[in-house]
C-alpha cells in the first residue's frame, strides 16, 4: 500500500479538526438521506390510501418526513459553517506556527504574498474537508438507495436506473481529474500574482521614483491571461459536468417512467407504487448534489496540496536545554553556510566574542556579514560547524531561553504589534509587556525607548505608546530606533545588523553608549560600515569572501590599505 501524499494527510487532519461539528453533520446528513429515501415510499402509500387501499396514517408520515428534511437541512447548514470555521482556524494556526519554526532561509523559499494566499484562501478550501467528505459520501446514498428501492418494487426498474447511473459515473470521471489539475494551476498562479504585488508594494517609493509604475503593473499582471484561462477552463469543466447530468437525468427518469407505466398496465405495479417509482427515479437521477460534492472535494484536495507544500519544509529542531550560568560568550567553530546552489557564503569561520565584549563585523558587500549575524543568534543553522552561547550549542537550547538571551536589531526592522508599546515590548515577558490601564508604558519599555533615543519621538505621537502602528508617522531612523529598543531586552547577546545606519552622528553616539551598557554587562556583535563604530569596538572581525581574514583591534588593522578600503571614502579616521 503506497504512502499517502502530504496533501491527503492534511485532508484527513482537516476532517479531524472539524471535531463534533463534522460528526453532527454526518448524523443529520444521514438522517436527511434516510428521510429522503423513505419519502417516495410514504407518498406512494399515501396515494394508495387516498384511493381507498391503505392506512390513513401514511399522509401524516409523509408530512413528518418533510418536516424532518427541513430540520436536517437547517442543522446541516449550521454544522457545515461551524465545522469549516473550526477546521480552517486550526489549519491556519498550524501553518503559522510551522512558518515561525522555519529558519529564515527556508521561509524565504515562498514569497510573503504567496504564503498569505495559502493562509487565507487555500486554508479555507482545505478547511472544508470534513464537509466535503461527509456530503460527498452522503451524496451517493440517494442514488444507490433509489436503485435498491426500485429493485424491491420491480427488479427491471432497478436495473434501468443502475444502467443510467453507471453511464453518468463514466461521464463524470474525467471531470474530477481535469478539474483537480486546473484548480491547482489556478491557485498557484494566484499565489504568484499575490507575491509580486506584495513585493512591489514594499518598494512602492522606488517604483514611483523610477517612474516605472506601468512596467511594474505589467510585471505583476503578466500571469493574468494564464490565470483567466485556467479560471474559464474550470467553469467550462463544471458546466460540462452539469450539462451531462442535465442531459442524461431526464432521459433516465423517462426510462423508469416508461417501464413503470408498462408495469401499471400489466398489473404488477399499483398507482402508488408508480408514484414512488417516479419519485425514486427523480431522486436517483438528480446528481446535482453529487457534482457539487465532487467539485468541493476537488477544491479541498487542491487547497490541501498547496497548504502542504510549506508545511512539508523541515522546521528547525528545537532543543530543550536551559542556558547555563554565563555572561554571553559567543563561539563560532568552523561555521560554513552555502547558498541554495552550493556557493559558499561563509567558509570555516572560527570566532570567539568574549563575554561582555563588543566585536564589530566589517567587510565589503557580499562578504557574509549579515549571514554571520544570522547564525550568531540562530535565525538559521549553519550548514557545517556550530555556534555556542556560553558553551552550549544554540540548536540544543530551549527556544524560549534562546530568545530571552539574544536580541536582534536590523537596518530595516519590521515592527510587530498593534501599538508602539507592543512593538517595543515584543521580546519582554507578558507581565512586563502589558501596561496597566492608567500607565503610559511599563518601566522596561520606557527604559528601552530612552536608551534607544526614541522616547521623545513616541511622546509626540497622537496617542503616545498606545498609538496604533499603522497610524504612527515614523521616519526610517525612528523605526530603526524602535527596533533597537525592542532588541535591548536581550539578557546576554545583542546582535546589531547595521542597526544604526539611519541615525545621525549625535544620536548614534547616544545609542552606542546605551548599547554598550555597563562594562561586561552584555555581549555585542555589531555589523557595521562605519569607521567610528569599528573603532569603538573591542575587536574587529574582518570578513573577506566569506572567510575571517583578521580578528584584531581597529587601530591595528587600520594600517592595512585593504582594510581601509572596506570603509567608504570620507567616513572618518580611526
Distance CA(438)–CA(451), nearest Å, equals 23
CB-CB neighbours of 67 under 10 Å = 10
Length of the chain: 574
Q: What are phi and psi of 37, to 5 degrees?
A: -75, -30
Edge to edge, what strands does the sheet with 330-338 contain?
Answer: 344-353, 330-338, 384-389, 392-393
CATH architecture of 330-566: 3-Layer(aba) Sandwich (3.40)
Nearest to 147 by CA among 167, 134, 165, 170: 165
Quick one: pLDDT at residue 263? 75
Distance CA(352)–CA(334), nearest Å, equals 11
What is the CA 71 to chain-centroid distance, rounded? 36
Quick one: pLDDT at residue 288? 59
Quick one: pLDDT at residue 224? 87
pLDDT along the chain (574 residues), means of 10: 71 89 91 84 75 70 86 90 91 89 80 82 88 85 81 81 75 70 81 78 71 80 86 80 71 77 76 77 69 79 87 84 88 91 88 91 90 90 92 90 88 83 79 61 82 84 84 82 86 85 66 59 86 88 92 92 77 46
How is the chain split into domains, by residue range?
6-311, 330-566
Distance CA(476)–CA(456), nearest Å, equals 15
Quick one: pLDDT at residue 574? 46
Quick one: pLDDT at residue 24? 92
CATH of domain 6-311: 1.20.1560.10
CB-CB neighbours of 109 under 10 Å = 13
Amino acid at each position: 500500500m503506497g504512502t499517502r501524499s502530504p496533501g491527503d494527510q492534511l485532508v484527513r487532519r482537516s476532517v479531524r479538526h472539524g471535531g463534533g461539528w463534522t460528526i453532527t453533520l454526518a448524523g443529520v446528513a444521514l438522517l436527511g438521506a434516510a428521510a429522503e429515501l423513505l419519502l417516495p415510499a410514504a407518498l406512494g402509500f399515501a396515494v394508495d390510501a387516498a384511493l381507498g387501499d391503505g392506512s390513513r396514517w401514511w399522509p401524516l408520515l409523509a408530512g413528518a418526513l418533510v418536516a424532518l428534511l427541513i430540520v436536517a437541512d437547517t442543522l446541516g447548514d449550521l454544522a457545515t459553517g461551524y465545522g469549516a470555521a473550526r477546521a480552517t482556524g486550526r489549519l491556519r494556526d498550524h501553518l503559522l506556527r510551522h512558518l515561525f519554526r522555519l529558519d529564515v532561509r527556508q521561509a524565504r523559499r515562498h514569497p510573503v504574498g504567496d504564503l498569505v494566499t495559502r493562509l487565507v484562501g487555500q486554508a479555507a478550501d482545505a478547511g472544508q474537508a470534513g464537509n466535503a467528505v461527509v456530503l460527498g459520501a452522503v451524496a451517493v446514498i440517494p442514488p444507490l438507495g433509489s436503485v435498491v428501492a426500485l429493485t424491491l418494487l420491480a427488479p427491471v426498474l432497478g436495473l434501468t436506473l443502475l444502467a443510467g447511473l453507471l453511464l453518468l459515473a463514466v461521464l463524470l470521471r474525467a471531470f474530477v481529474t481535469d478539474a483537480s489539475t486546473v484548480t491547482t494551476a489556478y491557485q498557484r498562479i494566484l499565489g504568484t500574482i499575490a507575491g509580486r504585488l506584495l513585493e512591489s508594494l514594499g518598494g512602492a517609493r522606488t517604483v514611483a521614483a523610477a517612474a516605472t509604475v506601468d512596467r511594474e503593473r505589467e510585471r505583476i499582471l503578466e500571469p493574468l491571461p494564464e490565470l483567466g484561462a485556467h479560471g474559464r477552463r474550470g467553469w467550462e469543466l463544471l458546466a460540462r459536468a452539469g450539462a451531462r447530468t442535465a442531459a442524461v437525468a431526464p432521459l433516465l427518469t423517462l426510462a423508469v417512467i416508461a417501464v413503470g407505466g408498462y408495469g401499471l398496465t400489466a398489473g404488477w405495479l399499483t398507482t402508488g407504487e408508480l408514484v414512488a417509482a417516479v419519485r425514486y427515479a427523480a431522486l436517483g437521477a438528480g446528481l446535482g448534489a453529487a457534482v457539487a460534492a465532487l467539485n468541493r472535494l476537488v477544491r479541498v484536495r487542491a487547497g490541501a496540496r498547496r497548504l502542504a507544500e510549506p508545511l512539508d519544509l523541515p522546521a528547525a529542531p528545537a532543543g530543550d536545554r536551559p542556558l547555563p550560568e554565563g555572561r554571553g560568550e559567543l563561539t563560532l567553530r568552523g561555521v560554513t553556510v552555502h547558498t541554495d546552489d552550493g556557493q559558499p557564503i561563509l567558509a570555516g569561520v572560527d570566532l570567539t566574542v568574549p563575554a561582555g565584549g563588543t566585536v564589530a563585523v566589517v567587510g565589503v558587500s557580499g562578504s557574509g556579514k549579515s549571514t554571520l549575524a544570522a547564525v550568531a543568534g540562530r535565525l538559521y543553522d549553519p550548514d557545517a560547524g556550530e555556534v555556542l552561547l556560553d558553551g552550549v550549542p544554540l540548536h540544543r537550547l530551549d527556544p524560549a531561553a534562546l530568545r530571552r538571551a539574544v536580541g536582534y536589531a536590523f537596518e530595516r526592522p519590521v515592527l510587530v504589534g498593534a501599538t508602539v508599546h507592543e512593538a517595543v515590548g515584543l521580546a519582554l515577558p507578558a507581565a512586563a509587556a502589558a501596561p496597566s490601564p492608567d500607565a503610559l508604558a511599563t518601566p522596561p519599555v520606557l527604559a528601552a525607548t530612552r536608551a534607544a533615543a526614541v522616547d521623545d519621538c513616541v511622546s509626540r505621537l497622537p496617542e503616545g505608546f498606545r498609538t496604533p502602528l499603522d497610524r504612527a508617522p515614523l521616519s526610517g531612523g525612528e523605526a530603526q530606533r524602535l527596533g533597537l529598543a525592542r532588541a535591548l531586552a536581550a539578557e546576554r547577546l545583542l546582535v546589531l545588523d547595521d542597526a544604526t545606519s539611519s541615525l545621525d552622528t549625535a544620536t548614534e553616539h547616544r545609542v552606542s553608549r546605551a548599547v554598550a551598557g555597563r562594562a561586561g554587562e552584555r555581549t555585542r556583535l555589531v555589523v557595521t560600515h562605519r569607521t567610528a563604530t569599528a573603532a569603538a569596538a573591542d575587536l574587529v572581525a574582518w570578513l573577506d569572501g566569506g572567510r575571517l581574514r583578521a580578528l584584531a583591534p581597529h587601530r591595528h588593522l587600520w594600517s592595512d590599505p585593504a582594510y581601509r578600503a572596506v570603509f567608504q571614502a570620507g567616513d572618518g579616521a580611526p
